[in-house]
Chain A
Amino acid sequence: MTIQDELGVSSTAKLNIRGVSKLYRGARQTVSALEDINLQVEDGEFVCLLGASGCGKSTLLSLIAGLEKPTEGSLLADGKSIEGPGRQRMVMFQEHALFPWLDVMGNVLFGLNLKSGLTQDDRRELAMFYLKLVGLEKFSQANVHELSGGMKQRVALARALAPNPQVLLMDEPFAALDAMTREQLYADLQNIQQKRRKTVIFVTHNVREAVCLGDRVVLFTPRPGRIRAEYRVDLPRPRDINDVAVAQLARTITDELKTLTASA
């Protein structure tokens, strides 16, 4: 692996989720977090998992990440079974999860340092490339606590992209940010997806956010977590969350979500 390979075409993967269920067995009761989930995700597709809290969408993300194992069913990435966490599928969490004992550069280097075949100079160059991509090249020496919430999530994004994963898993990454910062990040994320295309699974409970970002929106209902509907979003990019077309589709999905929860 050379730095040219790393900076060349961004890699992607197909995801194939078949008949996946997840039970959490507690002392008193067993909770069914996911039931019979089937989902196909294409190379470089941006899929939003949408649903109320507790509907199992984050559980599905953990399963794809390999952080947990399904009770039933199989998860495949490019035809290979997902057996554990790995650098091919990087996760971005709601809390930035940056390491406070490292500076910004150290955080972005963390995953790169575990990748073999690169010199230390290559790694620094790559880290700088991704910091530039998120617009924080001037902050490489900054400490985590000195950054704003939005900047922290940008660093977290750079850290997740740096090892050049095929799949980017995002668990409500912008939920804790203020509206203005969030809107800027929607634009940035679409822009970055244009430049460094990944297969993205994006978990959210915000309907408009899902419509604004996703090529496809997958609707979950809780107890047990199930896929209830899917919408293809064919609006032109880059999309603005305040666009009328985005708002209209979001409205349709919200109405459907309400009838689904009412009947459940």
Chain B
Amino acid sequence: MTRVLRSLAFFALVVALWEAASRAGWWSPVLVPAPLAIGEYLVSALKDGSLFSAGWVTMKRLLLGYIIGLAAGIPLGLLTARFRFAADTLGVLALGLQTLPSVCWVPLALLWFGQTESAMLFIVIMGTLWAVLLATDHGIRQIPPIYRRAASTMGSSGLHLLWHVLLPASLPHLVSGMKQGWAFAWRSLMAAEIYVTVLTGFGLGHLLHYGRELQAMDQVAAIMLVILIVGFAADKLLFSPWEAFLRRRWGLA
């Protein structure tokens, strides 16, 4: 509890100093908006619903792309861990593409899919898929062979072995891979939304982009704050329960 208070006090102090510096005229409000101006924008954007609808559009893209990335990445990772042929082909491809920031896919995605949701989805999937695939592959490979031996003497094989032994045994790696996939997806989606105008939906990245066009730095900073909070909340809501489970059950720090 004292640690939470300490963090809160720190942020309150930063915001207070920032507001004071803005009022003292240390810098132009055009370059660095004051916290109160940011707050005012947020309140108005919440009231007229633009923030909520943009957030919803962004979350839909993110979750859909992320879930597709997981649904494809985990089985493909199992494949590359199990079959040498898959490891030498798909595995190498994954390793290569994982090093490519997925915003690099934007020009091609636009060419292939046009200014559509599909282009956005493609970019998010490219951000998620490879990280999840590689984490699954790695997670399966590092399972101590003795787990498999022990399980097979107890009569476990095939799908039972996969579901009750191999997947749970690779859970620590799987969770960190899913987390990395989420972070990549989030970053690529923001880059794509700032970069590309899609007519079917107006996301947080677009809101930020138009703030820039309008020279409204309070809007830009406010959206940055929202993006940061969404990322933080997702981390806490999606991954904290898993990590708490790993800590408790495995005794992992």
Residues of A within 8 A of B (CB): 65-67, 85-87, 89-91, 93, 95, 97, 99-103, 110-111, 114-115, 143-146, 159, 163
Does B99 belong to the interface (CB within 8 Å)? no
In the bound complex, do residue B250 and residue A100 qualify as a contact, i.e. CB atoms below 8 Å apart? yes
In the bound complex, do residue A111 and residue B147 qualify as a contact, i.e. CB atoms below 8 Å apart? no
Please report the C-alpha to C-alpha distance between residue A86 and residue B151 in the assembled complex, in whole angstroms: 10
Residues of B within 8 A of A (CB): 144, 146-147, 149-156, 160, 164-165, 168-169, 171, 248-251
Q: 5 A-B contacts, Cβ less than 8 Å apart?
A: A101-B250, A111-B154, A115-B155, A159-B154, A163-B154
Q: Which residue of B is nearest A100, CB measured?
A: B250
In the bound complex, do residue A114 and residue B155 qualify as a contact, i.e. CB atoms below 8 Å apart? yes
In the bound complex, do residue A85 and residue B152 qualify as a contact, i.e. CB atoms below 8 Å apart? yes
Please report the C-alpha to C-alpha distance between residue A120 and residue B164 in the assembled complex, in whole angstroms: 17
Please report the C-alpha to C-alpha distance between residue A102 and residue B168 in the assembled complex, in whole angstroms: 9
In the bound complex, do residue B147 and residue A110 qualify as a contact, i.e. CB atoms below 8 Å apart? no
Please report the C-alpha to C-alpha distance between residue A110 and residue B156 in the assembled complex, in whole angstroms: 9
Please report the C-alpha to C-alpha distance between residue A111 and residue B160 in the assembled complex, in whole angstroms: 12
Contacts of B149 in A (CB 8 A): 67, 91, 93, 97
Interface of A is mostly: loop
Among A66, A114, A143, the residue within 8 A (CB) of B248 is: A143
Q: Which residue of A is nearest B165, CB measured?
A: A99
Nearest Cβ on chain A to B155's Cβ, whole angstroms: 4
In the bound complex, do residue A101 and residue B150 qualify as a contact, i.e. CB atoms below 8 Å apart? no
Contacts of A89 in B (CB 8 A): 153
Question: Given A99-B168, A99-B169: A91 and B150 within 8 A (CB)?
Answer: yes
Contacts of A99 in B (CB 8 A): 147, 150, 165, 168-169
Interface of B is mostly: helix
Contacts of A145 in B (CB 8 A): 249-251
In the bound complex, do residue B168 and residue A97 qualify as a contact, i.e. CB atoms below 8 Å apart? no
Q: Which residue of B is nearest A115, CB measured?
A: B155
In the bound complex, do residue A90 and residue B154 qualify as a contact, i.e. CB atoms below 8 Å apart? yes
Contacts of A91 in B (CB 8 A): 149-150, 153
In the bound complex, do residue B155 and residue A97 qualify as a contact, i.e. CB atoms below 8 Å apart? no
In the bound complex, do residue B150 and residue A103 qualify as a contact, i.e. CB atoms below 8 Å apart? no
In the bound complex, do residue A93 and residue B249 qualify as a contact, i.e. CB atoms below 8 Å apart? no
Contacts of B169 in A (CB 8 A): 99-101
Nearest Cβ on chain A to B211's Cβ, whole angstroms: 46
In the bound complex, do residue A65 and residue B153 qualify as a contact, i.e. CB atoms below 8 Å apart? yes
Contacts of A93 in B (CB 8 A): 146, 149-150
Q: Which residue of B is nearest A84, CB measured?
A: B152
Contacts of B165 in A (CB 8 A): 99
Question: Given A97-B146, A97-B149, A99-B168: A114 and B154 within 8 A (CB)?
Answer: yes
Please report the C-alpha to C-alpha distance between residue A143 and residue B249 in the assembled complex, in whole angstroms: 6
Please report the C-alpha to C-alpha distance between residue A144 and residue B160 in the assembled complex, in whole angstroms: 22
Among B150, B248, B249, the residue within 8 A (CB) of A97 is: B150
Question: Given A95-B146, A101-B168: A67 and B153 within 8 A (CB)?
Answer: yes
Contacts of A111 in B (CB 8 A): 154-155
Question: Given A97-B146, A97-B149: A87 and B155 within 8 A (CB)?
Answer: yes
Contacts of A144 in B (CB 8 A): 249
Question: Given A91-B150, A93-B149, A93-B150: A114 and B156 within 8 A (CB)?
Answer: yes
Nearest Cβ on chain B to A231's Cβ, whole angstroms: 29
Nearest Cβ on chain A to B125's Cβ, whole angstroms: 29
Question: Given A97-B146, A97-B147, A99-B168: A110 and B250 within 8 A (CB)?
Answer: no
Q: Which residue of A is nearest B249, CB measured?
A: A143
Please report the C-alpha to C-alpha distance between residue A121 and residue B164 in the assembled complex, in whole angstroms: 20
Contacts of A103 in B (CB 8 A): 249
Please report the C-alpha to C-alpha distance between residue A101 and residue B167 in the assembled complex, in whole angstroms: 10
Nearest Cβ on chain A to B244's Cβ, whole angstroms: 13
Contacts of A114 in B (CB 8 A): 154-156, 160
Contacts of B171 in A (CB 8 A): 101
Please report the C-alpha to C-alpha distance between residue A99 and residue B149 in the assembled complex, in whole angstroms: 12
